[in-house]
Amino acid sequence: MADKFHPDDAKLAFVNSGEMYNRHFVLRNKKPSGYSYVVVSCHKEIVYGKSPILDHFIDAEIGRFYEYNDAFDNLNELHFRRMLGFFYDYDMNYIVDNQELTDLYEMAKLFEAKSVVDFCVKKIICARLGCTLRLPSTPAAATSSSPSSTSSSDSSSEEENDFLSCSSSSDLSSSSSDKDFSSSSSSSSCSEESLSHWSDFAKFDMNFAPMILPRVPDYIKKILKPKKNGLESTNLEKSLPMAKKTPMSILKAELVSELTASLKSEIKKDLIINLKDAVKKDDFLAEVQSKISHRLRADLTLTEEISANLRDGIKTELINDPDLNVGLPRHIRNEVLRDGSLTGSIKQELVSEIKRETLPEFKEDLKDRILVRGTTKDDLVGEIRSKLLNDGELKKKLGGRRPPDAVTIPEESHMTTACW
């Protein structure tokens, strides 16, 4: 779908499904990562009700419909739903306040909704002139009129084109059907940029069924003569067909110029006053709180700090809990006893340590027992004596000079000790 629109055209665009009460719109907005497209299906019974998809889009964009342009901050959900009311045959004549009509007029210009633009202009002019004529507010009322009224409306629309041709690019469309929508970008003056948009729209794929593209007027095609450095810089005022100037058309042109010059500064002041009363404190605080909580949850550093603090606090509480201090050692002891590998290693260490500690004691005890028993002592002495007598080296040292009986035998106590 991105190939079907101009790259710089980031406003919302109407898409007509052809059904009477089920209108589909393509909401397009410029994001940091590119253009996003959301298809919304609006029904007659929810124009003034709740529409989950539309409400979500409005909340996500903070009520702004045209990128992040501060000039359209006053265009909110109310004006959008009022504009939809025209296409669902609602009677919109109840809107008489100039400020509300001006806001609705800006919204209609943004969406290139010609029928709504005409309605707002006529109402504002009648309010300035003090006329009480009731104007048709819906497309159904306009299309169901008689042939004579149709011809009169055509002539009045021609007069309005004289003074609206340079105030809204929606008047460049030659179609008088109130249900046609155009997706060209809004323009407050007839500049070369608006003409370049028309040339881009002429390159669109006409087989794209859902999109109703505006027909490029013949006099615009004559102006759009390509050159090496771009479009030919011609004066649009001279190229437009000259219409007969009547006193009424001159008066209308003056009134429109006054509106566009004076109401811009008044709109912001009135909006500030109206928004102070319209914004509810609780709703505002709830929205701010939800955004803050969302950002805090997304902050990983803050989450880790909070987790560390909570972990330390829980640890301190567990240490200071008297019941836990009694039950925790018992629980740990039971867990250690259940662990076979841990008890086995501890048992092996204990056995080896006990052996090292008790072995010297066993040796001394065994030595004492051997020396106390007389038979064992005599046998041991006889065995030692026989070994000495049969020792050849000892005989060599003695030189064989003395008989074996003359060999001096060490004392038994010393020999026993030396043996051990």
Predicted confidence at residue 292, as pLDDT, reads: 79
User: Which residues are within 8 A (CB) of 360 and not within 5 positions of it... i.e. 6 or more apart?
Assistant: none
The rounded distance, in Å, linking the Cα atoms of 113 and 117 is 6
Q: Taking the CB of residue 92, how many other CB atoms lie within 10 A of it?
A: 19
Closest residue by Cα to residue 112 from 18, 210, 178: 178
Sort 271 into a burial class: Cβ within 10 Å, 0-12 / 13-18 / 19+: middle
Domain limits, the chain: 2-279, 280-316, 321-372, 374-420
The rounded distance, in Å, linking the Cα atoms of 80 and 253 is 27
User: Which residues are within 8 A (CB) of 56 and not within 5 positions of it... i.e. 6 or more apart?
Assistant: none
The phi, psi pair for 34, rounded to 5°, reads: 135, -165
Q: Say if pTM beats, i.e. exceeds, 0.85.
A: no
End-to-end CA gap in the chain: 105
The phi, psi pair for 106, rounded to 5°, reads: -65, -40
Q: Taking the CB of residue 86, how many other CB atoms lie within 10 A of it?
A: 23
CB 8 within 8 A of CB 69: no
Reduced to 3 DSSP states, what percent helix, strand and coil does the chain have, rounded to the nearest 5? 60, 5, 30
Our CA dihedral for 177, 179, 184, 189, rounded to 10 degrees, sits at 60
The rounded distance, in Å, linking the Cα atoms of 208 and 95 is 36
The rounded distance, in Å, linking the Cα atoms of 106 and 100 is 10
- Local structure of residue 186 (DSSP, 8 states): P
CB 114 within 8 A of CB 170: yes
The helix-helix angle for 340-372 and 374-389 (nearest 10°) equals 80
CB 212 within 8 A of CB 225: no
Which residues are bridge partners to 418 per DSSP? none
Segments in the chain below pLDDT 70:
1-77, 87-88, 111-112, 131-254, 261-265, 274-284, 373-375, 399-420
CB 106 within 8 A of CB 75: yes
- For the segment 66-118, what is each residue's pLDDT rounded down to a tens digit? 444 555 556 666 777 787 777 667 788 888 888 889 888 887 777 667 788 88
Query: Hey, is 26 helix, strand or coil?
Result: strand
The rounded distance, in Å, linking the Cα atoms of 350 and 354 is 6
The rounded distance, in Å, linking the Cα atoms of 137 and 162 is 21
User: Which residues are within 8 A (CB) of 308 and not within 5 positions of it... i.e. 6 or more apart?
Assistant: none
Q: Which helix (H) or strand (E) holds 226?
A: strand 226-227
Order of strands across the sheet with 22-31? 13-15, 22-31, 34-43
CB 86 within 8 A of CB 92: yes
Angle at 184 between CA 178 and CA 185, to 5 degrees: 120
- For the segment 201-220, what is each residue's pLDDT rounded down to a tens digit? 333 333 333 333 334 344 33
The phi, psi pair for 320, rounded to 5°, reads: -85, 0
Closest residue by Cα to residue 13 from 2, 286, 22: 2
Predicted confidence at residue 295, as pLDDT, reads: 77
Structure tokens at 334: 């039971």
